[in-house]
C-alpha cells in the first residue's frame, strides 16, 4: 500500500483526482486533507472506498492547522507517502480578507499554506515520491484567459497589501507564486536526485468548480450554467477530466522521472517568462519561510541554494 495526500479533496478537482487514484490501483490509500472534516467524510462516502480513505482537517488559512495536520500524519500509521497533491485554492474578490495569521487570504491559502505543508511533510515522503502543485494559465499574461496579469513586486507586499486591490489580480499572482515555488522546490531537491519530483499543473477552466463562489450572482450563474456549454473550447475542461490528468501526474509510471515541468493537462509546456525569475523565486521562498515560522524547528525543511 502507498499513500497520496490531496488538499481540497472534498469536491471539484481534488475529489476527482482522489476518485481516479482509488479506481486505478487498489494499492493507493488517499488522505483527504480538507478544511471541513464533515464534508471530507461525506466525500469519502461518495467515493465508495472508505477503508482506503482517511479524512484529516487541514485549514490552509491557518498555519496552526497546517502544523496540526502534519503532526496527525506523522502519528496516523499510514502506508508510505508517495504523492502529495497541492490542489486547494480560493479566489476572493469581495475586498480584502485575512487568514488566521493576518495575511491576505488568497496568498495565504493558495501559496503559503501549501508551502508550510510541503516543508512539514518532506521528511515523511517515501522515495520515489511526487509533489504536484496546481497552478493555472491565468498566471501568464500572454494567454487569453480573461484575467488580469499578476502583479508581483515582493512576497511581503503580496502577503500584506497596503490597500484593497483587484481580487482577480491577487488570484493570478498567487498562481504565479505556485510556479515560482514549484520550480524553486525542484531546484532545492536537486531535480529529482533526492528521490522526490516536483511538477506544476494547469487544470484549465473548469465551470462548476468552487472558485467562483465569491463572484456576484450573475457571474456565478454564467460560471455554473453558461461556461459548461463551451466545453468544445480547448481550455474549458470538466473537473473529472482535469482530475484524471492530475492523478496521472501524481501516479502514472509515464511521469516517474519527470520533474521541474509545467503541464497543461498531460502536455508539458512553458510557463510565463516571469515564473522562471530566480530572484523572485528566492524572495518568495525566504519570505515564506519567515512567515511560516514554526513553533518548533523543523529539521527536514528544504533550504534553497542561494
296 Rama sector, left if φ>0, alpha if ψ -120 to 50, beta otherwise:
beta
Whether a cis peptide bond, with omega within 30° of 0, leads into 128 is: yes
Give yes or no for a contact between 110 and 175, defined as CB atoms under 8 angstroms apart: yes
Residues 6+ apart with CB under 8 A from 182: 131, 133, 135, 198, 199, 200, 260, 262
The answer to whether residue 215 is catalytic is no
Q: Which of 171, 183, 215, 262 is catalytic?
A: 171
Closest C-alpha among 225, 223, 222, 228 to residue 240: 228
**Residues belonging to the active site:** 171
Amino acid at each position: 500500500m502507498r499513500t497520496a495526500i490531496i488538499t481540497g479533496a472534498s469536491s471539484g478537482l481534488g475529489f476527482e483526482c482522489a476518485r481516479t487514484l482509488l479506481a486505478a490501483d487498489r494499492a493507493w490509500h488517499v488522505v483527504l486533507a480538507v478544511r471541513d472534516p464533515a464534508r471530507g467524510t461525506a466525500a469519502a462516502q461518495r467515493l465508495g472506498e472508505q477503508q482506503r480513505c482517511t479524512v484529516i482537517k487541514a485549514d490552509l488559512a491557518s498555519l496552526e492547522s497546517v502544523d496540526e495536520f502534519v503532526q496527525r500524519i506523522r502519528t496516523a500509521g499510514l502506508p508510505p507517502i508517495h504523492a502529495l497533491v497541492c490542489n486547494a485554492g480560493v479566489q476572493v474578490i469581495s475586498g480584502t480578507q485575512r487568514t488566521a495569521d493576518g495575511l491576505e487570504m488568497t496568498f495565504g491559502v493558495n501559496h503559503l499554506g501549501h508551502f508550510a505543508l510541503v516543508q512539514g511533510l518532506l521528511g515523511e515522503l517515501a522515495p520515489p515520491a511526487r509533489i504536484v502543485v496546481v497552478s493555472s494559465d491565468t498566471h501568464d499574461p500572454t494567454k487569453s484567459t480573461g484575467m488580469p496579469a499578476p502583479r508581483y513586486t515582493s512576497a511581503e507586499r503580496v502577503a500584506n497589501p497596503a490597500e484593497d486591490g483587484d481580487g482577480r489580480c491577487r488570484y493570478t499572482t498567487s498562481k504565479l507564486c505556485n510556479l515560482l515555488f514549484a520550480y524553486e522546490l525542484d531546484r532545492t531537491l536537486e531535480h529529482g536526485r533526492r528521490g522526490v519530483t516536483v511538477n506544476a499543473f494547469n487544470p484549465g477552466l473548469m465551470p462548476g468548480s468552487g472558485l467562483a463562489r465569491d463572484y456576484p450572482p450573475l457571474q456565478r450563474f454564467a460560471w455554473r450554467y453558461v461556461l459548461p456549454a463551451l466545453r468544445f473550447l480547448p481550455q474549458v475542461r470538466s473537473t473529472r477530466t482535469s482530475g484524471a490528468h492530475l492523478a496521472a501526474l501524481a501516479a502514472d509510471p509515464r511521469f516517474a522521472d519527470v520533474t521541474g515541468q509545467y503541464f497543461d493537462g498531460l502536455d508539458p509546456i512553458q510557463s510565463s517568462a516571469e515564473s522562471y525569475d530566480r530572484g523572485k523565486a528566492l524572495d518568495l521562498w525566504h519570505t515564506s519561510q519567515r512567515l511560516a515560522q514554526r513553533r518548533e524547528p523543523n529539521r527536514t525543511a528544504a533550504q534553497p541554494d542561494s
